[in-house]
Amino acid sequence: MLRGLLNVRNYLKSFRLVKNGLKRNSNWVSLLLNKESSHELKIKFSTALSSKRSHESGDLIPYYFAKDLVSFYNALPNANSKVELFQALSTNLGIDTEQVETSLVKLHKSITEKSTLVNRNQEELLLSLIPTYKHLFDDISRLSEGVGFLVNMRKDLRHLFKSNLLDRNSPNLRVFDNFLKKHLAEWFADGFMDLQPITWNSTSAGFIEKLMKSEAVHPINSWSEMKQRMGNRRRVFAFTHRMIPDEPLVVLHALLGDNIPSNINSVLQTDNYPMEKDLVKTATFYSISAIHRGLDGIGLGNLLIKKVVHELKREFPTLDTFVTLSPVPNFRKWLDHHLNIVVSGEPIPQTFIGFDMQTCCDIKNMLSTENWHLNDDLCSKLELPMKKLCARYLSREKRRGLAFDPVAHFHLRNGAILWRLNWLGNPNQMGMDLSYGLMVNYKYNLTDIEANNYEYLVHSKVATSADVQVTADS
């Protein structure tokens, strides 16, 4: 085995890579990017993996390849070079269909002949259905800072999808992304996560600065604003991973009080005077931000909410109400599009039943008036139809059976109910640009969370309060 390994290493020394102006002794990666030799690399890698499974001492080939790939990737000069590497990884280190067919034939034969090799052939088939890059992910994760590398690599992959430099509909790339997401989900499971209370006095300035820069829901413009959000009546929590403890992954901001707020300015400007513990009845989650795009779809926000609820109930035994004050990020875009449909004389969408062409023209004209939200007369005319359309948008507009709005989908799948619509809940520029100022309270009734989650995911049923239902049906 040692002689074979030395021969492989000597053979690989002959490879030298020049890609996108980057010259590098990256032997393993050169095999990967070369179509003629990538199959040979796959065979060597698979053989090495078999050796690792068979011997406690393992094999160094996968380790060398993982280490070399990380170094090579970190030195790539531009997006185009990453495009080429992702295409090579997803294609040349994917599932070997010939091996799958061979394993199927062997399994079928052993079953037909009632051979004692059935179990062995089943295992061989299962292993053949695992792409080689999944084993590569495993080896990278064992490297120092390897988990963080994979998070950043997936962030790059999703950015390349979004910018159309990579085709998100490519079967190979889609499977590659799914396997990488599942791999990260295993590493970012509950047991690896730490809930960090963030305070002005105990949290490092560098960590707090990362939170400030990453706040996407309600931007923080100064250190004094950040200090305000960590006052007596507020709590900030962040998830960190034990292998990358200095990186906040998901952040949640909460306001403590005795009522359910309807306006974001009142939340952000609330005085931070101390409040008696037994007077704290309500926790309002007004910002939940996922900082690393490479962890999209992993479900850390859901886990964070559950952990924070448990922590707050421990600190405040009288706390019994958990709500959000949430944006409706796609409502304005959706509304403008559908108003134009009705105004143009096309068939009226289901969510606009009861709104004729003239009514939609009037709404469209009022919304086009500069600073309409500062005009009491226009506000009074718009409030009812806008809340009605927003209620229908959130509860009835679906994508593949689930809520079209991403924030609604997040909270509904977590088991919350659509509790209240807040007219001009965010009259700031961002709120007007996203949703014409509307905000929503989602409510987490702890005894109903599992039932709501089941009804939503299995039957596409959106849990709503009676008031929201009446508004949507009116």
What is the chain's Cα-based Rg? 27
102 burial type by CB count under 10 A (0-12 exposed, 13-18 middle, 19+ buried): middle
Q: Distance between CA atoms of 434 and 13, rounded to whole angstroms?
A: 56
Q: What is the 3-state secondary structure (H, E, C) of 223-256?
A: HHHHHHCCCCCEEEEEEEECCECCCCCEEEEEEE
Using an 8 Å Cβ cutoff, are 237 and 311 in contact?
yes
Non-local CB neighbours of 422 within 8 Å, separated by 6+ positions: 262, 263, 325, 438, 439, 440, 441
Give the pLDDT score at 28: 56
pLDDT at 7: 36
pLDDT of residue 114: 81
* Catalytic, out of 26, 38, 289, 326: 326
How far is the CA of 98 from the CAs of 39, 103, 118, 128, 474, in angstroms?
12, 9, 20, 9, 60
The pLDDT value given to residue 45:
55
Residue with the two structure tokens 């090799």: 117
Q: What is the reported pLDDT for 47?
A: 57
Q: Respond yes or no: is residue 144 known to be catalytic.
A: no
289 catalytic residue (yes or no)? no
Please check whether residue 420 is in contact with residue 387, taking contact to mean a CB–CB distance below 8 angstroms.
Answer: no
Q: What is the pLDDT of residue 363?
A: 97
Pick from 133, 167, 129: nearest CA to 153: 133
**pLDDT at residue number 59:** 54
d(CA 420, CA 439): 9
Provide the 10 A C-beta neighbour count for residue 458. 9
- Average pLDDT along the chain, 474 residues, taken 10 residues at a time: 35 33 45 55 55 49 78 88 89 85 89 86 88 90 92 96 94 95 94 94 94 89 91 93 91 95 92 84 95 90 93 95 97 97 92 94 97 97 98 96 96 97 96 97 96 96 97 94
Beta bridge partners, 402, equal: 399
pTM of the model: 0.83
Alpha carbons 407 and 422: distance in angstroms, whole number: 15
Q: Find all residues with CB under 8 Å of 259, minimum gap 6, and list them.
A: 281, 282
Q: Compute φ and ψ for 294, nearest 5 degrees.
A: -70, -10
Which two structure tokens, joined as six digits, stand for 411? 């909270």
Q: Which two tokens stand for residue 394?
A: 């959130």
